[in-house]
Amino acid sequence: MVVAERAPLKVESVPVSELHTFEGNARRGDIQKIADSLAVNGQFKPIVVNRGTKTGKFNEVLAGNHTLMAAQTLGWMVIDAVYVDVDREHAVRIVLADNQTSDSARNENDVLIELIQELPDLHGTGFSQEDLELLLSAADAGGGFGPPPDEPYISRWEIVVECNDEGEQEELYERLRDEGLRVRLLSL
């Protein structure tokens, strides 16, 4: 294993029009949810951009692709970023690490509920009222999402179903939710 040298990071405001999403990114994020957060909270962490002198792909976003897309939908002209200058292998490692380390995290649901309940509303949090109700219901039942705190988080299983239109999506969403499944709507 090669240990990366620690280099200081400098946050820069960068024109959105100069940036490009990572080609081949496997992650599909909820851009609307991120845009809602940006609209309420502003940008509270920089995205990571590869200068591209070693790859030939200049200003390619390695971490924060969906934040960039959300900023574009909001009409932002600039976004805060930190730059790295890495080769393709290192770029892929950063993209994968950013996605996987996020996926392998889990919440302490009782603490999460307390945090959510501190707020007067859920705007900009990424949580819906339905999410809160599911958390509260699971807490009342003595359970929760994911393994108990003393068990390691392994993974979660998801499926994406493509619908022909918004009506079909809503109908399928309602049916699956009525069956007791935890579902969410995505628009890509």
Tokens found for residue 149: 């705190």
**Tell me, what amino acid is at 50?**
N
Mean per-residue pLDDT, 132-145: 73
How much is the CA Rg of the chain, to the nearest whole Å? 19
Q: pLDDT tens-digit profile of 86-133?
A: 999 999 999 999 989 888 788 888 888 899 999 999 999 999 888 888
pLDDT of amino acid 108: 87
pLDDT of amino acid 4: 73
pLDDT of amino acid 132: 85
Q: Residue 160: which residues within 8 A CB-CB, separation 6 or more?
A: 28, 186
Q: Are strands 78-84 and 47-50 parallel, antiparallel or unpaired?
A: parallel
Mean per-residue pLDDT, 62-82: 97
Out of 2-6, 75-79, 87-91, 106-110, pick the least confident.
2-6
Evaluate whether the domain defined by 11-103 bears CATH number 3.90.1530.10.
yes
Q: Residues of the chain with pLDDT > 90: what percent? A: 51
The whole-angstrom separation of Cα 128 and Cα 122 is 7
Mean per-residue pLDDT, 49-74: 97
The whole-angstrom separation of Cα 99 and Cα 95 is 6
DSSP H or E stretch at residue 79: strand 78-84
3-state SS assignment for residue 23: coil
Q: pLDDT tens-digit profile of 15-46?
A: 999 999 999 998 898 999 999 999 999 999 99
List the domain boundaries for the chain: 11-103, 106-150, 157-188
pLDDT of amino acid 184: 75
Does the global pTM surpass 0.75? no
pLDDT of amino acid 97: 94
